Structure 1
Amino acid sequence: MLIFKEIQLLPEIFLGISIIYLIIHGTFISVNNKYLLIQNSILYLSILIIAMFCFLLLNNSIEYNNFQIFNNTIILDYLSFSSKAWIALISIFCFLMVQRYLAVQKINYFEYSVLILFALLGIFFICSSNDLITAYLSIELQSLSFYIMAAMKKDSAFSADAGLKYFILGAFSSSLFLFGSSILYGVSGTTNFEDLKNLFFLTYLEYESIYGVDNYSFVKHVFIDGGLIQFALVFIFVSLLFKLAVAPFHLWSLDIYEGSPSSSTFFFAVVPKLAIFILIIRIFYSSFFEYSIKWRYYIVVVAMLTVIVGSFGGLEQKKLKSLLAYSSISHMGYTLIAFSTGTFEGMQSMLCYLFLYMIAGLCIWSIFLLLQLKYKYSKKQNKDLTDLNLLSKSNNILALFFSTVLLSIAGLPPMVGFLVKIGIFLVSIEASMYFVAILSILCSVISTFYYIRIVKIMYFENSVAGKLYYPIQSNISILVVCLFYFLLFLFVNPTLIYLFSYKITLLLTMTVV
C-alpha cells in the first residue's frame, strides 16, 4: 500500500497534466484562422478542469489523516484539503466573472487562462507544502504566473509597469525567503517542517541518555543556535508579509492593483491570501511555535501598523481599485491580530475572517467587473468613485448588493462581517491585548468612512444624471445573486462558518501537540 500512497496527490497530478493538454489545445486553435475568439473555449475548459479537480479532491478518503508523501515534502491533511477545496470553489466563480471583462478588453490569449491554472497549481502546492524547498517552488510557480498576468495587456503602459514592479519586488521577497531557508538548513540540517518540529521537541531524557548532560538548555544551545533560527525566521516572515501586502511592505500593491488588468487584480486580491496564511500556520504554529511566541509582540506591532495604514490610507483615495487595495491591507492586519494571539480561539477567528474575506471580496470584485461604463473613451476601464454616481437609479438591485457587502466587510452590525470582526476583538481581549483591541476598534470605525462614502455616492450624490452602464448578462447576474444570498445565509446562520473553522483548528492543534 505504501507504493500507491502518492496516488493521493492525484488532483494536483490531474491539474498539471490537464494544463499541458490545454496548452496543446490552445496552440492548435490559435493557429487556425477559423476560430477568432479562442478565450471562451479555453475559459470553459479551465472551469471544467477545476470542477474535476474538486471532484477528485472530494473523493480522497484520507483528508482527515496526515499523509506525508514524496519524501515527506508534501502533507495531505484536513487543513490542506479544506483550503484547496475552498480556493478551487472561489476560483470557479472568478473564471465565470472575468469572462465578459476579457471580451471587452480584447484579451484574446489562451495563455491567460493557462497562467491562472498554473497559479492555482502553485497555490494548491503551497497549501500542502511540508518542506521549505517545496514551499519556495510553489510560491515561485504562483508568483511567476501573477507577474505575467499583471503585464498581460500589451497595449497598456500601466499594465507593463505593474508587471515589471511586481516582478522586481516579488523576486526580492522570494530571495528573502530563500535566504532564511538556507540559514535554517545550515543550523538544523533539514528543511522539512516535521523534522524541524521534532528537532525542537526532543525531551530531556533523550539528551541525558545519549550525552549524559544534566542541563537541558545547555545541550539545546550546543546543537541549535536560537539566535540564528530567530534571524532566519524573520527573513521568512518578512517574505511572506510581502506576499500578503502587509504594512510596511504594502507599497507595491497600490500601483500593481491599479495598473494590472482588473481580472488579474481580482485574482491577486481574493485567491492567494488563504494559501499564504496556511503556510504561515505550518511554519510558525507547527514547527517553530516556541520561537514565534518570543517575538509575538513584533507581529502585533506589524499588525497594528497594517490596520492603521489600511484605515487611514483609504480615506483620500478617489480610485476604486486603490481604495479596495487599502481595504485589503486593513483586513490582512485584522487577520494578523488574530494570528498573533497564539490561542485556539485566535486561530479559529483568523480562519473565519479569511473565509468571509474571500466571499465578500469575490462579490465586490464581481460587481466591479460587471459595471461596464458607456464611455466615449473606451480604453478607460479603471473606475473612479464618481463613476458609481447614482448607481441606485440605473440598477437599484446591484447597488443594494454592493452596499450590503461593503457595509458587511466594514463591520457594521448586525451583518456577518461584524460577527467575525468582533470575534477578533474578543480573542485579542482574552489574550490580554487590550490596547490592540481598543486601537483596532477605533481604526475599524475610521475605515467605515470610506465604505459609507461609496454608498453615499451611489445613493445620495448631487447630480443631474447618473452614469450609463452596459446591460449585464443574466447568467452572471444569477451568480452575483447567489453570492449575495450566501452572505445573507451566513448572517442568518453564522454557525456554518464557525463550525468549519473550529474543525480545522481542532485538527491542526492535535497535529501540533
Structure 2
Amino acid sequence: MLILSLFILIIYSSIINNIDTINLLSSSNKIGWKLQNYNIIRIGIIIILYSLYIFKDISLSYIFNNYNNNNDLNIYIFNDLYKLNIFNIYIIFLLLIVIISLLSINTTYLTKIQIKNNNNNISIGKSDNYIELNIYYISIIIFNIIGLILLLTSNNLISIFISIELQSYSLYILTGIIPKSQKSGHNSLFYYLIGGIGSIIILYGISLLYYITSNIFINNINLIYSLDIYNINNNILIGWLFIIIGLLIKIGAAPMYNWSILLYSNSNTIITSYISLIPKISILSYILLIILNLYNLNNLNNLFNNNNNNNLIYILSIIIILSLIIGSIGGLTQIKIKNILAYSGLLNIGYFLLIILSLINNNNINSILAYIIYITQYCFNHISIFILLIIAIIYNNNYNNFITNKNLIYIYELNYIKNNRYLIFCLIIIIGSFIGIPPLFGFYGKYYLLISSINSNYLFLSLLLIISSIISSIYYLYFLNITLFDNNNNKNNNNNNNNESLLIPSFNIINDIKNNTSLSLSNKLKNNQVGNYITYILSSYILIILFNFIQWKNILKGTYLISILLF
C-alpha cells in the first residue's frame, strides 16, 4: 500500500504539472485538474497514514528479541529469489517516506519568469535549482525505488548485481537530467566512471563466490560457510569482502571519498539531497544484512573468534578510522555548504560502519536497534537541513532582489535568514541534533551507537568516535556562528516587514524587486510560492527531532485527537 501511495503521489503530480506547464487547458479546466490532483494526493496520503497505523503495531524490539528463538522470521518469495524480514521492511518503509519528502522539495522553485525590458521580451528559463516533475524525471525515480527495494530483499547473487546496477544507473541519469548544462553532464559521466569501478569489484566478488560454492543463492552459500572448512571459509569471506568494498566505493567511504565531495558540490541542490542519502541508506543497510546472513546471531562470538574472520574486522576498522578522521577534520577548512555536508556524510558513514562492526563482536541485538535509531534520526536531520537550505535560497533571493534561484554556495549566504526567527529556530534544532545535544533525536542515536561499540569491546574506536564527534561539532556550530553573529555580509539587506512570514503556507517569496533598470514583471511571480506541504514537512521533522523522547503511541493518539477536532 505504501508503494502504491508513493506512485499515486509522484505520477499524478508529474502529469498535472506537465499539463499546467504546456498550457493546453483553459483556465476553468485547469482549476478542475488542480482540484482532481489535490483529491488524488489526499488519497495517497490516506493510504500512507493507514500504512503507518498498521506498521505501528509491529514491535521491532519484540521481533528482534525473539530472533534467537526463531530463525524462520524470513519470508521467501519468487522461488527464494527475494527475502523479506522485519529489518528490510522497516528500511524500505523509511526510504519511501524519505523519497516522498525529498520529491516535495522540487515544488519550491520558480518555474519561469517573463521580464519586459525596453519593449523587449526577455524569457528567463527555469532556475538553476528547478527540475520539472515530468514523466522522465518520475520514471528515473521509480526505477531507483525498484532498485533499492530489490537490493534490500535480494537473496541471489545475480539479483544483487542487477538491483545495484538498476539503482546506480538511475542515479547516473539523475545527476545529468538538467538539459543544456555542461556541469550536469560532467557530473553524470564522473559518477558513472566511479560507479563502474565499484561495479567491477562487486562483480569480481560475486564471481569468486560462485566459483567457490557453485551456487548463487545466499542461503546455500551461508550453509556452506557454516561447515567451517578453512580454505572454503576464507575464500567465501574474501568474496563477500570484495562485494562490501565495492558497495562502499559507490557511497564514497574513505579512502575513496574525494569523488563524493566534488559530485555533491557541483550537483544541483535537489539532486544532492537525493544522491547523498538514498543510496547511502540502502547500501549500508544491505551491508548489515550481509553480516546478519553470513553469521547466525546465535553463534556470532564463536565464529568471529576464528582467525579466518579477522581480515573483515581489520579492513572495516581501517575504513571506520579513516572515515572518522577525514570526516571530522576535513570539514574544518571548508567554507562551502555542500562540502561541509559531504564531509558530514563521510563521518556518518564511519558511524554506520561502527554499528555494523559492533554487531560482529556482540551477541545481542542492541547493535541492530542502535542502527535503526541512528539511521532514522540521520534521515530526519538530512531532510530537514536540505529543506531549510532550499527555503534559504529563496529567502536569499528575496533580500538580494534576484529573479532566479541560484544555489547557496558559501556559508555566509545563510546570513540572510538571520532576521527570521522561525528559520533560525529550525536551524538551531537541526544543528543541535547533528551535534548530539540532548534531548534532541541525534543525541539518542549517538548514545546507542556509543553503548553498542563499548559493549562490543571496541574501546579505541569508541574513544575515536567521541573525539571525532567533538571535532565535527566545530564546523556544525560554524553554521550558527555565521548565521547569528556575523554581520559583515548582511550590510546591504533590505528591511522587510514580513520577514517572519516565510513558514506561513502559500506566501510570495519576493514582494518587491528594485526597478533600477526599468524592469517590470509581466507575471508577478505567481509561481514563486512554497507549497503548504513543504512547510508542514519541515515543521513535522523539527517536532520529531525535538520531541522524540515522547512515546510514539502518545504522539499518534495526540494527532488522532487533533485531526478529529480540526476535521
Query: Is TM > 0.5 for Structure 1 vs Structure 2?
Result: yes
Whole-Å separation in 1 of the counterparts to 2:554 and 2:317: 29
8 Å Cα contact 1:270-1:361 kept in structure 2: yes
> Which amino acid in structure 2 is aligned with residue 127 of structure 1?
L
Q: In the alignment, is the contact (CA less than 8 A) between 1:311 and 1:443 conserved in 2?
A: yes
Aligned equivalent of 2:86, options 78, 94, 104 = 78
Residue 383 of structure 1 pairs with residue 440 of structure 2: no
User: 1:78 and 1:296 mapped to 2: Cα distance?
Assistant: 26
Q: Helix, strand or coil for the counterpart of 1:199? A: helix
**Mapping of 1:142-291 within 5 angstroms?**
142-202=167-227, 220-221=229-230, 225-287=232-294, 290=303
Cα distance, 1:448–1:20 mapped onto 2, change above 3 Å? closer
Does the Cα contact within 8 Å between 1:73 and 1:134 map onto a contact in 2?
Answer: yes
Q: For residues 27-66 of structure 1, what are the structure 2 equivalents within 5 Å?
A: 34=24, 65-66=73-74
Name 2:520's counterpart in structure 1: none
Query: Aligned-pair distance for 1:482?
Result: 1.2
Change (3 A) 1:379 1:418: closer
Question: How far apart are 1:131 and its partner, in Å?
Answer: 1.6
* Aligned residue number for residue 326 of structure 1: 343
Deviation at 1:297, TM superposition (A): 2.7
Instruction: Please list, as runs of the form range in 1=range in 2, the aligned pairs for 1:301-340 lying within 5 A after superposition.
Output: 301-340=318-357
State the Cα deviation string for residues 384-422 of structure 1 (Å, max 9, x = none).
1010115221x2111111121112111234433122212
Instruction: Return 454-463 or 280-289, whichever deviates more.
Output: 280-289
The corresponding residue for 2:385 is 364
Question: Aligned partners of 2:371, 2:269: CA distance in 1, in Å?
Answer: 27
Aligned-residue Cα RMSD (Å) equals: 3.7
How far apart are 1:27 and its partner, in Å? Answer: 13
C-alpha displacement of 1:437: 1.2
Q: CA deviation at 1:284?
A: 2.2
Deviation at 1:479, TM superposition (A): 2.0
Q: CA deviation at 1:462?
A: 2.5
1:351 corresponds in structure 2 to 372
Greater Cα offset, 293-302 or 478-487: 293-302
Structure 1 residues 371-380 or 17-26, which shifts more? 17-26
**More deviation, 484-493/69-78:** 484-493
Per the TM alignment, residue 52 of structure 1 is displaced from its structure 2 partner at its CA by: 5.5
| Identical counterparts, % of pairs | 24
Match of 1:509 in 2: none
* Distance of 2:368 and 2:344 partners within structure 1: 22
More deviation in 49-58 or 374-383? 49-58
Q: Which has the larger radius of gyration?
A: 2
Deviation at 1:225, TM superposition (A): 2.5
Aligned CA distance change for structure 1 residues 271 and 466 (closer, same or farther; 3 Å): farther
Q: Residue 362 of structure 1 aligns to a residue in which SS?
A: helix
What does residue 90 of structure 1 align with? 98
Paired residues, number: 466
Amino acid at match of 1:101: Y
| 1:473 match: secondary structure | coil
**Shift of residue 125 of structure 1?**
1.3
Q: Which amino acid aligns with 2:24?
A: K
Structure ranking higher in helix proportion: 1
CA distance in 1, matches of 2:49, 2:342: 29
The offset of 1:185, in angstroms, is: 0.6
- Structure 2 distance, partners of 1:176, 1:23, is 39
Shift of 1:431: 1.8
Q: Say if 1:140 and 1:434 are closer, same or farther in 2 by CA, change over 3 A.
A: same
CA distance in 1, matches of 2:14, 2:447: 50
2:145–2:167 Cα contact (<8 Å) kept: yes
Q: After TM superposition, give the deviation of residue 134 of structure 1 in Å.
A: 1.2
SS class of match (2:76) = strand
Distance 1:137 1:316 in 2: 39
| CA deviation map 1:238-270 (0-9, x unaligned) | 111123321112111111112221111111122
Shift of 1:435: 1.4
Does the CA-based 8 Å contact 1:129-1:279 persist in structure 2? no
> Does the residue aligned with 1:75 lie in a helix, a strand or coil?
strand
- Does 1:487 pair with 2:545? yes
Amino acid at match of 2:238: F
CA distance in 1, matches of 2:214, 2:110: 48
- Secondary structure of 2:83's partner? strand
1:467-506 superposed matches below 5 A: 470=509, 473=530, 475=532, 476-492=534-550
Deviation at 1:146, TM superposition (A): 0.8
Q: Give the Cα–Cα distance (whole angstroms) in 1 for the partners of residues 406 and 313 of structure 2.
A: 45
Distance in 2 between residues matched to 1:136 and 1:160, nearest whole Å: 25
Q: In the aligned structure 2, how far is the partner of 1:35 from the partner of 1:126? A: 42
Residue 304 of structure 1 deviates from its aligned partner by 1.4
Distance 1:245 1:102, change over 3 A: farther
Q: Which amino acid aligns with 1:176?
A: I
How far apart, CA to CA, are the structure 2 residues paired with 1:495 and 1:303?
A: 36
- The one of 110, 133, 138 equivalent to 2:163 is 138
